[in-house]
Amino acid sequence: MQKNIYGKRSEIIAQNYLKKNGYKILETNYSTKLGEIDIIAKDKDGYIVFLEVKSRMSRKFGDPFDAIDYKKQQKIRNVATMYLKSHNLLNTNCRFDAIAILGENGEDIRHIVNAF
């Protein structure tokens, strides 16, 4: 399966997972000159949640979470700050989560709350 098709499918799987768990999806693939955030959602407690989705067909090349290194985290934080400023939400509670999806059809989904 082509990499970008698999990635998009994984993001849809992540969105469906979040909806089933009480999240409201606010944005997908929010992009600025600084980078992109895969999903921005609001949880049932009112937190704005910035989510990075990583997927792999297997752990052969490592865990999906391994791809969210310090540099990637900093980029997501900077884009999140731009989002909060542009939506006048600087005083809103927020956090950074990560979702890892393994398998062609998302057989294994792991969600880390407050991942970084």
**For 30-57, how does the pLDDT look when each residue is reduced to its tens digit (9 = 90+)?**
999 999 999 999 999 999 999 999 998 7
- Which tens digits make up the pLDDT trace of 71-84? 999 999 999 999 99
Mean pLDDT of 86-100: 96
Confirm or reject CATH 3.40.1350.10 for domain 3-112, answering yes or no: yes
The kind and range of the H/E element at 76 are helix 70-86
Q: How far apart are CA 99 and CA 12, in angstroms?
A: 12
Q: How far apart are CA 14 and CA 12, in angstroms?
A: 5
- 44, exposed or middle or buried, with CB in 10 Å at 0-12, 13-18, 19+? exposed
| Coil vs helix vs strand at 83 | helix
Residue 58 has pLDDT above 80, yes or no: no
Residue 1 has pLDDT above 70, yes or no: no
Identify the pLDDT of residue 62: 79
pTM: 0.90
Q: CA 5, 84, 19: angle at the middle one, nearest 5?
A: 45
| Coil vs helix vs strand at 16 | helix
Q: What are the domain boundaries of the chain? A: 3-112
